[in-house]
Amino acid sequence: MPGRSDGLTREQVLDALKDVQDPELHRSIVELDMVKDVVIGDGRVKVDALLTISGCPLRETIVESIKAKVAALPGVRAVDVHLGVMSQEQRQALIGKLRGGETAFKGPGSFLGPDSPTRVIAVASGKGGVGKSTVTVNVAAALAHLGHTVGVLDADVYGFSIPKMLGVHGRPTLIDQMIIPLERDGIRVISMGFLLPDEDQAVIWRGPLLHKTLTTFIGEVHWGADLEYLLIDLPPGTGDVSLSIAQTLPQSHMLLVTTPQEAAAQVARRAAKMAEKVNMEVVGVVENMSYFQATPSGAPVYIFGQGGGAKLARELDVPLLGEIPLDQSVREGGDAGRPIVIAHPDAPAARAFRAVAEQLRSAVPVPARA
Amino acid sequence: MSPRMAVPTEMGSVTDNPFWIVWSDGHRSHYSWQRLRIACPCARCKGEWDQRPAPLTERDIPATIRAMSLTRVGAYALRFSWMGGHDTGLYPFPLLRHELCECDECAARRAAAGPR
């Protein structure tokens, strides 16, 4: 409808742009004061927007989203988008906004406050090699599939494997001191692997550096105020990392992973002991590598024994949330960066992971959104 | 799981004397700053392995000692920063609730149980 654009107002354009989110910060670009100027004339709309940093990896996404929203307004024939870069002061103001204004003393991670809506679930095992990271990525993917906003914090600083298992690679964007997590399949991820020159580097550190890394991952990563579940993939054992997590978070739950083997369940029990001492509630046990079935109708083979997870759950008086069968495609999914929950949603292992996620969200519900 | 530990629902600040905590189980505790400092559970005060320093007493800690600040540690403990800078002690909630509380009821219970 020619001529109508003369009636188009700046407010209408801004209103349309409210739906455009910064793809990394997950907040409206209008709300974040990223729209600097709007000029309307003769069917043409020119939008000046400010990026947080000049090398913003997702600038094209922002340009395309702005163009699409404005072009949909009546009478708009052409949209020009000009991108600039925020000044130091503008970035500080933005960070202040992201951190929730005056609550800076709590640190930027919203779940550092006692009333945080984010539910933190530390995935622990005691023993190594039982599949903590596999459980973490699959439960995260299943929770995301159920419609939750999910983050994964890879706290296995030395033995990180989350980047490979989720297929997330690259460097997080830094806005001054704030780290923006990488994202894949709707899961926000931070890992030591993103901070090393390459993923084959070894991290050879003593305790104090570990502590600093974890407090950075918790406090200086912009997980987003809308984050519902943060899964923390703990390293094996009850050492420095687990203690740092326990000392930093005012509220968190523990999900215990074991294999059916008595030796694994016994070490997992020690992780539960630690949880009790630091007042973390154990929400349940996941038994991984429970059995192997060569064919769907074949008899299950209990390679690692039977019943270790159920026994552990009974002893701790917590639910057994799932028994995950051994399945080659679980391992393949991990190596290919496609968790089985996403790659083969109908596989028995994927169904078992989804059942774990469903029970987990019933046991640790997120507060209803206002 | 064993029942969750009692946690502070309300507590005094470093300017209060005595220091006090109201617990999630309803109990109200109070503490003298001097005895809290004497009870510091850190490895330097209490020792570890084969290092066992002589226990602190009223002679080591002035009655006027005060904490300069206190913070919650995770979901399970308090950390006090004392005058003089000592701050390595984490006081787990069960220690504060059951072993260090100086209310009449707790003091009587401990006296009845005798010296351990």
Provide the pLDDT confidence category of residue A5 given band limits of 50, 70 and 90: very low
Distance from CA of B1 to the nearest CA of A (A): 5
Provide the pLDDT confidence category of residue B46 given band limits of 50, 70 and 90: very high
Q: What is the mean pLDDT of the segment spanning A6-13?
A: 85
Cβ of A252 within 8 Å of Cβ of B75? The answer is: yes
Cβ of B2 within 8 Å of Cβ of A276? The answer is: yes
Distance from CA of A275 to the nearest CA of B (A): 10
Q: Is the pLDDT of residue A117 over 70?
A: yes
pLDDT tens readout for residues A141-170:
999 999 999 999 999 998 899 999 999 998
Q: Is the pLDDT of residue A286 over 50?
A: yes
What is the spatial distance between Cα B79 and Cα B102, in angstroms, rounded to a whole number? 19
Lowest mean pLDDT among A175-179, B6-10, B51-55: A175-179
Q: Is the pLDDT of residue A99 over 80?
A: no
| Token representation of residue A197 | 């020159």
What is the spatial distance between Cα A75 and Cα B110, in angstroms, rounded to a whole number? 82
Rounded to 10°, the helix A59-71/A10-17 angle is 130
What is the spatial distance between Cα A99 and Cα A174, in angstroms, rounded to a whole number? 15
Q: Is the pLDDT of residue A109 over 50?
A: no
Q: Is A134 on the interface with B (CB under 8 A)?
A: no
Burial level of A317, CB count in 10 A (0-12/13-18/19+)?
exposed
Provide the pLDDT confidence category of residue A209 given band limits of 50, 70 and 90: confident
Cβ of B4 within 8 Å of Cβ of A279? The answer is: yes
Q: Are B54 and B46 in contact (CB under 8 A)?
A: no
- Provide the pLDDT for residue A27: 84
Q: Would you give the DSSP letter of residue B3?
A: P
Q: Is the pLDDT of residue A200 over 70?
A: yes
pLDDT tens readout for residues B14-27:
999 999 999 999 99
Q: Mean pLDDT: which of A103-112, A162-171, A218-227 is highest?
A: A162-171
- Provide the pLDDT for residue B115: 67
Cβ of A282 within 8 Å of Cβ of B1? The answer is: yes
- Provide the pLDDT for residue A368: 78
Q: Is the pLDDT of residue A110 over 60?
A: no
Residues contacting residue A186 through CB under 8 Å, at least 6 positions apart:
A144, A149, A150
B52: how many CB neighbours lie within 10 A of its CB?
9
Provide the pLDDT confidence category of residue A41 given band limits of 50, 70 and 90: confident
What is the spatial distance between Cα A221 and Cα A323, in angstroms, rounded to a whole number? 33
Lowest mean pLDDT among A7-11, A259-263, A279-283, B68-72: A7-11
Q: Is B1 on the interface with A (CB under 8 A)?
A: yes
Q: What is the mean pLDDT of the segment spanning A321-327?
A: 96
Q: Is the pLDDT of residue A102 over 80?
A: no
Q: Which chain B residues contact residue A251 at CB under 8 A?
A: 75
Q: Is the pLDDT of residue B93 over 50?
A: yes
Provide the pLDDT confidence category of residue B67 given band limits of 50, 70 and 90: very high
| Token representation of residue B81 | 């920063």
Beta strands in A13-72 (DSSP E): 35-41, 44-51
What is the spatial distance between Cα B69 and Cα A191, in angstroms, rounded to a whole number? 33
Provide the pLDDT confidence category of residue A53 given band limits of 50, 70 and 90: confident
> If you count DSSP H runs as helices and E runs as strands, how many of each does chain A have, helices first?
12, 13
- Indicate the average pLDDT of chain A: 89
- Provide the pLDDT for residue A106: 42
Q: What is the mean pLDDT of the segment spanning A85-114?
A: 67
Q: Given phi > 0 = left and psi -120 to 50 = alpha, else beta, which region is A129?
A: left
Q: Which chain A residues contact residue B93 at CB under 8 A?
A: 279
- Provide the pLDDT for residue A235: 93
Cis peptide before A117 (omega within 30 of 0): no
Residue A250 is nearest to which of B5, B72, B92, comparing CB atoms? B72
Q: Is the pLDDT of residue A74 over 80?
A: yes
Q: Is B4 on the interface with A (CB under 8 A)?
A: yes
Q: Is A51 on the interface with B (CB under 8 A)?
A: no
- Provide the pLDDT for residue A112: 66
Q: What is the mean pLDDT of the segment spanning A342-360?
A: 97
Model confidence, pTM: 0.84
Provide the pLDDT confidence category of residue A299 given band limits of 50, 70 and 90: very high
Residue with the two structure tokens 């989110």:
A21
Q: Is A276 on the interface with B (CB under 8 A)?
A: yes
Q: Is the pLDDT of residue A227 over 80?
A: yes
What is the spatial distance between Cα A24 and Cα B77, in angstroms, rounded to a whole number? 36
Q: Is the pLDDT of residue A105 over 60?
A: no
